Amino acid sequence: MQALVDALCTLSSRDALTGLANRRHFEAALAAEIDRVARAGEAALLLLLDIDHFKKVNDTYGHPAGDAVLRAVAGSLADCVRPMDTVARFGGEEFAVILPNCEPAFGHTVAERIRAGIHTRSVPVAPGVALQVTVSIGGAFAPKWVRTSAALWIERADQQLYRAKAAGRNRTHLEMPPVTSVSAEEKGLLFAASAFQDLDP
């Protein structure tokens, strides 16, 4: 019975095609990381990755080839991160990586290692045909000691992903230095969670 429960839990948290965490598991891990950053003030980096010209792979070689590319990128991602990191299929040809305890000084190095690892991997998609796949990567750091929201953090990383793609693809673009300003929404979240608000003036 326990084995069945474990298997069902795995199915509910994993992407069937790639074996990575699915969107549901990613959202839970992101919420937990936001809580940890707000409480401990430790650095955390969120990376969003998009496979370059993925539609062309499907259109030229068919969807089985596209699936092979997705699995290959997932394998490269899993090989490039630490056990403590969360790697997820964010949707379609987009992936996400949550990197706890990742200081800004190391963020670009980590992102570049991931990009290069994927670029150097040859992906067989048809008899005698192998592709070199590239990805564009955008990243953003969570503001320390601030209870941000998942939507704001993802939006910041997505803005950097857009810049990487606009600059020519197959490159990384991180929000550097990390955000130090606090938005009105984040201020509201911060004070809403404060125990001091219930004290008499």
Question: CB count, 10 Å around CB of 70?
Answer: 23
d(CA 174, CA 162): 11
Model confidence at 140, in pLDDT bands (50, 70, 90)? very high
Confidence of residue 1 (pLDDT cuts 50, 70, 90): low
Q: Which has the closest alpha carbon to 78: 136, 118, 132?
A: 118
Quick one: pLDDT at residue 5? 47
Q: Label residue 60 by pLDDT band (50, 70, 90).
A: very high
Q: Is-contact 171 138, C-beta < 8 A?
A: no
**Quick one: pLDDT at residue 164?**
97
Is omega for the bond preceding 177 within 30 degrees of 0, making it cis?
yes
Site of tokens 């693809």: 169
CA triple 160-20-100, angle to 5 deg: 55
194 — pLDDT class (breaks 50, 70, 90): very low
Identify the CATH number of the domain defined by range 2-193.
3.30.70.270
Read off the pLDDT of residues 82-105 as tens digits, 9 standing for 90 and up.
999 999 999 999 999 999 999 898
- The CA distance from 44 to 143, in Å, is 8
